[in-house]
C-alpha cells in the first residue's frame, strides 16, 4: 500500500495567478477523483506532482520519496498521461511502447518484448500493434497512453482530463481500464467531467481557484445535500430575480427552458419540488456557493 502526502502546497505564476493555494491531501491506493472547472488549478497540481514544475512552498512525498528534492526517484515510480498525449508520426503502438520502455530503463530485450505484449493485451490493442498510432481514434490513443503510463510498475499514475473528446462507448472502455489499473496503485484522475468521478472514484476532492473546497467520499458529499436541493422550470427573463431570491446551485436548459436547482434548508414553496441530490449538485454547490455549505 502506497501513500501520497501533499502538505501546504502553493504556487503563484509570474502573472500573479495563484494556481495552488495551500493544498493538503493524503491519498492511498485506488482511484482518486480531482474534480474542478477549467482553471481551478488541477493541471497545475498534476504538473507539480509530475515534477514538470516546482511549487513555491509546501511538500509532497510518496513512500519516503520527497517529490521536490528527489525528482529522479519520483519519476521511477510515476506513470503520467497528460491532457494532450502526443505521439510520433507514423510510429506503431508496439514501437511506441518499446521506445518508452527503453527510456524507462528496461534494457533486457526479452523482458521488454514480453512487457509490451502484456500491456497491449491489457489495453485490448494487441491486434492493432502494427498500426500507426497517429491514425487511432481518441479512445485508442488514450488506451496507448495508459499502457505507457504502466511501464515500470509505477506507484502513482496521474491522468489529466483523460475522457475529454471521447464518445460514450470509448469512455466506458476507458472507465473499465482505469478501474482495473486503480486496484493496485494510486491513480489521480483530474477532470472537469462529473461522470468520470461518479463512475470510478470512491474518494475525491473538488478544487476551485487553487483551493481544495471538498475532500472525502462522493456519497458523503451527496448525503450532505439530502433534503436541501429543489428544482423548478423558470422563464429566461426570471433567472436574475430567482438568483436574487434563492441560492441557485445550477441551471441548465431542458426543452428550451432553464431548469434551476437551488439549495435551501426549508422547502421554498413557490412551485419548487424536492429532488434527490447527485454529484453534479455537489460540484456546483461547492464551486459556486461553497460558503452556503460550510
Domain boundary among 184, 217, 250: 217
Under 8 Å between Cβ of 262 and 247: yes
93 and 201 together in one domain: yes
DSSP H helices, the chain, are 42-49, 71-76, 93-103, 109-122, 138-149, 168-181, 194-200, 218-224, 239-245, 279-288, 290-293
Distances (CA, A) of 118 to 79, 94, 96, 125, 131: 17, 11, 14, 10, 17
Question: Does residue 292 register a pLDDT over 70?
Answer: no
Non-local CB neighbours of 25 within 8 Å, separated by 6+ positions: 4, 5, 6, 205, 212, 215
> Which cell numbers in the block locate residue 143?
488506451
> Pairing mode, if any, of strands 3-12 and 18-28?
antiparallel
- Looking at the structure, tell me whether residues 175 and 231 fall in a common domain: no
Helix 138-149, helix 168-181: angle, nearest 10: 10
As a whole number, mean pLDDT of residues 183-196 equals 88
Q: Are residue 170 and residue 271 in the same domain, yes or no? A: no
Q: What is the pLDDT of residues 10-36, one digit of tens each?
A: 999 999 999 999 999 999 999 999 999
Q: Say whether both 159 and 21 belong to one domain.
A: yes
C-alpha cell, 204: 475525491
In which domain, by residue range, is 136 found?
A: 3-217
Statement to judge: residues 155 and 254 lie in one domain = no
Distance of CA 50 to the CA centre of its chain: 14
Query: In whole numbers, what is the pLDDT of the chain averaged over residues?
Result: 90
Q: What is the pLDDT of residue 138?
A: 84
Confidence band, pLDDT 50/70/90 cuts, at residue 173: confident
Q: Do residues 238 and 257 lie in contact, with contact meaning Cβ atoms separated by under 8 Å?
A: no
Whether pLDDT at 260 is above 50: yes
Mean pLDDT of the 122-135 span: 91
CA atoms within 13 A on the CB side of 151: 29
Rounded Cα gap, residues 290 and 6, in angstroms: 23
Total domains, the chain:
2
Q: What is the CA radius of gyration of the chain?
A: 21
Mean predicted confidence (pLDDT) in 156-179: 84
pLDDT over 70 (residue 102): yes
Decide: 47 and 190 in contact? Cβ < 8 Å: no
- The domain boundary, picked from 217, 239, 272, lies at 217
Note the pTM of the prediction, 2 decimals. 0.85
Q: Are 42 and 204 in contact (CB under 8 A)?
A: no
Give the mean pLDDT of 63-67: 94
Question: Are residues 146 and 37 located together in one domain of the fold?
Answer: yes
Q: Average pLDDT in the 190-218 region?
A: 91
Residue 242 confidence class, pLDDT cut points 50, 70, 90: very high
Are 42 and 141 found together in one domain?
yes
Phi, psi dihedrals of residue 198, rounded to the nearest 5°: -60, -40
Is the confidence at residue 290, as pLDDT, over 80?
no
pLDDT band for position 90 (50/70/90)?
confident
- What whole-number distance in Å separates Cα of residue 122 and Cα of residue 181? 10
Domain C-terminal end among 159, 184, 217: 217
**Contacts of residue 167, Cβ cutoff 8 Å, sequence gap at least 6:** 138, 139
Amino acid at each position: 500500500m502506497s501513500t501520497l502526502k501533499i502538505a501546504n502546497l502553493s504556487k503563484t505564476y509570474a502573472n500573479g495567478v495563484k494556481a495552488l493555494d495551500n493544498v493538503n491531501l493524503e491519498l492511498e491506493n485506488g482511484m482518486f477523483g480531482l474534480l474542478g472547472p477549467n482553471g481551478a488549478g488541477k493541471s497545475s497540481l498534476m504538473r507539480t506532482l509530475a515534477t514538470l514544475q516546482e511549487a513555491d512552498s509546501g511538500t509532497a512525498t510518496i513512500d519516503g520519496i520527497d517529490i521536490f528534492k528527489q525528482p529522479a526517484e519520483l519519476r521511477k515510480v510515476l506513470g503520467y498521461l497528460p491532457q494532450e498525449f502526443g505521439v510520433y508520426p507514423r510510429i506503431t503502438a508496439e514501437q511506441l511502447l518499446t521506445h518508452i520502455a527503453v527510456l524507462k530503463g528496461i534494457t533486457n530485450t526479452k523482458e521488454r518484448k514480453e512487457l509490451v505484449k502484456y500491456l497491449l493485451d491489457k489495453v485490448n490493442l494487441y491486434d492493432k500493434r502494427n498500426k500507426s498510432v497517429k491514425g487511432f481514434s481518441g479512445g485508442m490513443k488514450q488506451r496507448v497512453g495508459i499502457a505507457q503510463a504502466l511501464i515500470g510498475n509505477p506507484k502513482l499514475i496521474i491522468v489529466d482530463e483523460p475522457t475529454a473528446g471521447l464518445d460514450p462507448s470509448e469512455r466506458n472502455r476507458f472507465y473499465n481500464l482505469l478501474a482495473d489499473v486503480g486496484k493496485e496503485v494510486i491513480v489521480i484522475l483530474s477532470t472537469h467531467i462529473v461522470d468520470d468521478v461518479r463512475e470510478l472514484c470512491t474518494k475525491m476532492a473538488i478544487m476551485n481557484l487553487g483551493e481544495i473546497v471538498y475532500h472525502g467520499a462522493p456519497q458523503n458529499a451527496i448525503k450532505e445535500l439530502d433534503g436541501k436541493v429543489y428544482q423548478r422550470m423558470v422563464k429566461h427573463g426570471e433567472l436574475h430575480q430567482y438568483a436574487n431570491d434563492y441560492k441557485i446551485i445550477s441551471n441548465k436548459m431542458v426543452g428550451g427552458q432553464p431548469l434551476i436547482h437551488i439549495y435551501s434548508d426549508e422547502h421554498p414553496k413557490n412551485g419548487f419540488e424536492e429532488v434527490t441530490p447527485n454529484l453534479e449538485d455537489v460540484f456546483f454547490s461547492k464551486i459556486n456557493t461553497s460558503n452556503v455549505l460550510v
